[in-house]
């Protein structure tokens, strides 16, 4: 193994607690661990967050849900202590039997989805019995334009179908905001208004959902979300109260120590960003150390040429492991940490290998571990150099995960 990912259970717990404190004691936080816990390892992070008190864990699809259910059991989290698991990507008809078998709760928004679930529930009745109905969470498309039923006639059609099929229970209603990191955002105001209208229709149909949930990390962080209306968490509490429901927020990337800055305001608008700590430390092994003479080239196409004697270290990590090729040397190249010191990347990042300049760093030897990502070089640093966002950097991490304190 030439590179690996160390996941801090202590920091993951601390971040969850910080997000929970920012949301408020009366607003539970659903911990989003989809996309393999944003590259951090779903099977490791899920049990840690369960023990931290997360009442819900959110995954992308049924495959992740089944993996998570098994991981919770394998790590000694009893059935009574296990959080509910929300399938956030929407179920396919082929998923219905597994949803029932593993007690996974789906987000739905079409009658086709509901009919497939209802048919599977009817088929399973000989083994499930005729007890409690099966819970679903209904997503409202308030302006994200991806998942969700549109308010108005499409929503009314779904609600009418649910009234006729009480074997499926509307446990929760939710939506997703598009610009939660923007202070005083008109789109957020518009989405709030659409959600309020949708909730009015839902209650007029006679539904009383237990939960209303919205948001992401930036929603929890942004204290000035809409013009003259304050934070979205305060707004959510009002919407839920009028429906007689429990408000809940969702948080993803903040669990892992990252959060987009609040745009259009000073740092006073940020409620939690500065309290979050990166959870992953990505390390790689030094495979060899060598001396370079002036004129020597490094990497494909010889894009780096030594102008003086140098000492270099060959490290066993590259773009196959998720290290972005944009960090190759140049006007704004990347670096790693060797013995706590910056060592710049020389030449092009290769598939499984990268060369570092360790001139002036003493006692570097084969087998030493360098820091590819962690304290001192963050996913935000990688994202800036790769011209992307920290989400993409983290979700692209590949390798063996190790849980550390």
In a domain, 363, yes or no: yes
Shared domain check, 302 and 246: no
The domain boundary, picked from 257, 275, 293, lies at 275
Q: Are both 182 and 294 inside the same structural domain?
A: no
CB-based contact 224:190 (threshold 8 Å): no
Write the burial class of residue 67 (CB in 10 Å: 0-12 exposed, 13-18 middle, 19+ buried).
Answer: middle
Same domain, 133 and 211: yes
Per-residue pLDDT tens listing for the chain (405 residues)? 899 999 999 999 999 999 999 999 999 999 999 999 999 999 999 999 999 999 999 999 999 999 999 999 999 988 888 999 999 998 999 999 999 999 999 999 999 999 999 999 888 765 555 668 999 999 999 998 999 999 999 999 999 999 999 999 999 999 999 988 888 888 988 999 999 999 999 999 999 999 999 989 998 888 776 666 678 888 899 999 999 999 999 999 999 999 998 887 766 678 888 999 999 999 999 999 999 999 999 999 999 999 999 999 999 999 999 999 999 998 788 999 999 999 999 999 999 999 999 999 999 999 999 999 998 999 999 999 999 999 999 999 998 999 998
What b/e string do you get for 31-46 counting C-beta neighbours within 10 Å, with b at 16 or more? bbbbbbbbbbbbbbbb
Tell me whether residue 348 is in a domain. yes
Are 98 and 158 members of one domain? yes
Its sign, for the CA torsion 137, 147, 388, 403, is: positive
275, 294, 309 — which closes off a domain? 275
**CA nearest neighbour of 390 among 181, 145, 223:** 181
Total of domains in the chain: 2
Residues 171 and 194 in one domain: yes
What integer pLDDT is reported at residue 269 of this predicted model?
75
Q: What is the CATH number of the domain that holds 26?
A: 3.20.20.10
Structural domain contains residue 399: no
Give the structural domain span for 355: 280-377
In a domain? residue 391:
no
Q: Are residues 36 and 76 in the same domain?
A: yes
**pTM for the model:** 0.92
68 shares its domain with 210 = yes
Q: Indicate whether 353 and 205 sit together in one domain.
A: no
Q: What pLDDT score does 236 carry? A: 92
Neighbours of 239 (CB within 10 A): 20
H or E segment and range at residue 20? helix 9-23
Q: Considering the domain boundaries, does residue 258 fall inside one?
A: yes
What was the pLDDT predicted at 267? 62
Q: Identify whether residues 221 and 243 lie together within a single domain.
A: yes
Quick check: helix, strand or coil at residue 97?
A: helix
Instruction: Give dist(CA 395, CA 383) in Å, integer.
Output: 12
Residue 193 host element (H or E) = helix 186-204
- Residue at a domain's end among 246, 275, 304: 275
Residues 123, 104, 24, 239: is their CA dihedral positive or negative? negative
User: Are 246 and 331 members of one domain?
Assistant: no
Residues 183, 225 within the same domain: yes
Is residue 89 one of the residues assigned to a domain? yes
**What pLDDT score was predicted for residue 86?**
97
Q: Which CATH number goes with the domain that contains 331?
A: 2.40.37.10
The answer to whether residue 383 sits within a structural domain is no
Asked whether residue 70 falls in the same domain as residue 23, the answer is yes
Residue 3 lies inside a defined structural domain of this protein: no
The position carrying tokens 């370079």 is: 292
**Residues 6+ away with beta carbon under 8 Å from 49:** 12, 13, 16, 31, 33, 57, 83, 255
């Amino acid at each position: 193994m030439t590179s690996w990912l160390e996941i801090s259970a202590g920091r993951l717990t601390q971040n969850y607690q910080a997000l929970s404190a920012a949301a408020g004691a009366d607003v539970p936080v659903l911990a989003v661990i989809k996309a393999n816990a944003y590259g951090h390892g779903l099977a490791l992070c899920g049990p840690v967050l369960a023990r931290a008190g997360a009442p819900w864990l959110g995954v992308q699809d049924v495959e992740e849900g089944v993996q998570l259910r098994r991981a919770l059991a394998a790590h000694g989290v009893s059935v009574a202590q296990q959080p509910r698991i929300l399938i956030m990507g929407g179920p396919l008809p082929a998923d219905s039997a597994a949803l029932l078998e593993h007690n996974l709760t789906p987000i739905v928004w079409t009658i086709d989805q509901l009919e497939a679930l209802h048919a599977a529930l009817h088929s399973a009745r000989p083994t499930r019995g005729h007890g409690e109905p099966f819970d679903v969470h209904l997503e409202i498309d308030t302006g994200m334009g991806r998942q969700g039923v549109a308010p108005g006639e499409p929503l009314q059609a779904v609600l009418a179908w649910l009234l006729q099929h009480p074997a499926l229970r509307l446990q929760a209603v939710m939506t997703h905001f598009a610009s939660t990191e923007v202070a005083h955002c008109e789109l957020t105001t518009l989405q709030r208004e659409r959600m309020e209208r949708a909730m009015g229709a839902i209650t007029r149909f006679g539904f009383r959902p237990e939960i209303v949930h919205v948001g992401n990390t930036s929603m929890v962080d942004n204290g000035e979300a809409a013009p003259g209306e304050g934070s979205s968490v305060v707004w959510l509490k009002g919407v839920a109260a009028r429906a007689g429901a429990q408000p809940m927020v969702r948080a993803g990337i903040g669990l892992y120590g990252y959060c987009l800055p609040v745009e259009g305001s000073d740092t006073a608008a940020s409620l939690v960003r500065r309290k979050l700590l990166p959870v992953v430390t990505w390390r790689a092994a030094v495979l060899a150390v060598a001396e370079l003479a002036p004129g020597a080239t490094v990497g494909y196409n010889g894009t780096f040429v030594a102008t003086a004697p140098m000492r270099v270290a060959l490290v066993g990590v590259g773009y196959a492991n998720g290290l972005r090729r944009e960090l190759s040397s140049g006007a704004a190249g990347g670096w790693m940490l060797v013995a706590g010191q910056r060592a710049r990347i020389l030449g092009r990042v290769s598939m499984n290998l990268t060369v570092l300049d360790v001139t002036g760093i003493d006692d570097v030897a084969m087998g030493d571990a360098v820091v590819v990502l962690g304290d001192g070089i963050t996913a935000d640093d990688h994202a800036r150099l790769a011209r992307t966002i920290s989400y993409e950097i983290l979700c692209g991490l590949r390798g063996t995960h190790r849980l550390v304190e």
